[in-house]
């Protein structure tokens, strides 16, 4: 596992308080919460500063459906157009992992007092060698962070998408998705959305026509498919 430096003293303190809050919340239920791993990169501080600047320049809408997570969210340029009846806010930061969403939950979601949060993460985690169990544990930590700060806020978890460039990881992705699906089915206000299966062809491999040249990120057809899958889950 790579060792990363935390981006700033403020982030260290804020994240430490988050972890302590999660530990305290779990203690009352006799559940032991493993300490959260450090952020995957110090570069996310720049993204958080950009979000703050955007909020000043263009005040965000009240109680939006916040989409956050890695590059599949960040690159969704048609997000607002795709869901015209929903007030959405894009707070994706490309290359991020689930644990990064936990560390920066306040900056990417909580401060907007969202009516719903849609999270896409785990793709990069698996690619960087994290296990399905780690992805699920980090996802549970994210949900716990949300529920502690904003009780009752619905969270929709997007399954890890299959992509041609990461076809060798399909087994790990399936395992992670199934674990997330099983866990979410036992929770209140948590939905698992399967984007994995519809993105596979009849041969069981990722559909090439859904991706841009890098064979990792989606093109307009890929996002159109996501729009159809995710739309029914969104709160209006």
Q: Is the pLDDT of residue 21 over 60?
A: no
Contact status, residue 42 vs residue 104, Cβ threshold 8 Å: no
**DSSP-based three-state secondary structure for 169:** helix
Top-confidence residue, 104 or 35: 104
Report the percentage of the chain scoring pLDDT > 70: 86
Average pLDDT estimate for 99-118: 98
CB atoms under 10 Å from CB of 213, counted, come to 7
Q: Strand pairing of 190-193 and 116-120?
A: unpaired
Q: Residue 18: its pLDDT value, please? A: 45
Q: What is the value of pTM for the model shown?
A: 0.87
Nearest Cα neighbor of 147 from 99, 114, 107, 183 is 114
Pull the structure tokens for residue 69: 């997570």
* Average pLDDT of the segment spanning 103-113: 98
Spatial separation of the C-alpha atoms in residues 74 and 18, rounded to whole Å: 24
* Average pLDDT score, the chain: 89
pLDDT at 28 exceeding the cut of 80: no
pLDDT at 214 over 50: yes
Specify the residue for token string 């062809």. 201
The whole-number pLDDT of residue 35 equals 82
Question: Taking Cα atoms as reference points, which of 70, 111, 107, 109 lies closest to residue 92?
Answer: 70
Q: What is the model's pLDDT at position 1? A: 39
Show the domains of the chain with their CATH numbers.
9-233 (3.40.50.1110)
Among candidate residues 52, 97, 94, 51, the one with its CA nearest the CA of residue 75:
94
Q: Which residues on neighbouring strands pair with residue 144, listed in sequence order?
A: none
- How many residues in total does the chain contain? 236
Report percent pLDDT > 90 for the chain: 84
Dihedral, CA of residue 20, residue 115, residue 136 and residue 225, to nearest 10 = -160
């Amino acid at each position: 596992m790579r060792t990363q430096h935390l981006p700033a003293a403020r982030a260290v303190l804020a994240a430490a308080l988050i972890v302590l809050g999660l530990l305290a919340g779990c203690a009352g239920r006799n559940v032991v919460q493993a300490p959260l791993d450090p952020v995957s990169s110090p570069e996310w501080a720049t993204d958080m500063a950009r979000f703050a600047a955007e909020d000043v320049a263009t005040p965000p809408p009240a109680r939006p459906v916040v989409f956050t997570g890695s590059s599949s969210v960040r690159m969704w340029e048609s997000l607002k157009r795709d869901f015209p009846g929903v007030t959405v806010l894009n707070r994706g930061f490309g290359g991020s992992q689930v644990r990064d969403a936990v560390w920066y939950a306040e900056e990417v979601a909580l401060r907007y007092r969202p009516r719903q949060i849609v999270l896409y993460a785990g793709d990069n985690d698996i690619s960087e060698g994290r296990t399905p169990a780690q992805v699920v544990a980090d996802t549970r930590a994210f949900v716990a962070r949300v529920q502690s700060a904003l009780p009752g806020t619905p969270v929709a978890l997007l399954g890890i998408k299959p992509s041609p460039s990461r076809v060798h990881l399909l087994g790990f992705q399936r395992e992670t998705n199934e674990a997330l699906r099983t866990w979410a089915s036992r929770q209140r206000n948590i939905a698992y959305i399967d984007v994995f299966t519809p993105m596979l062809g009849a041969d069981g491999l990722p559909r090439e026509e859904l991706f841009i040249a890098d064979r990792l990120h989606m093109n307009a057809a890929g996002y159109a498919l996501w729009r159809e899958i995710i739309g029914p889950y969104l709160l209006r």
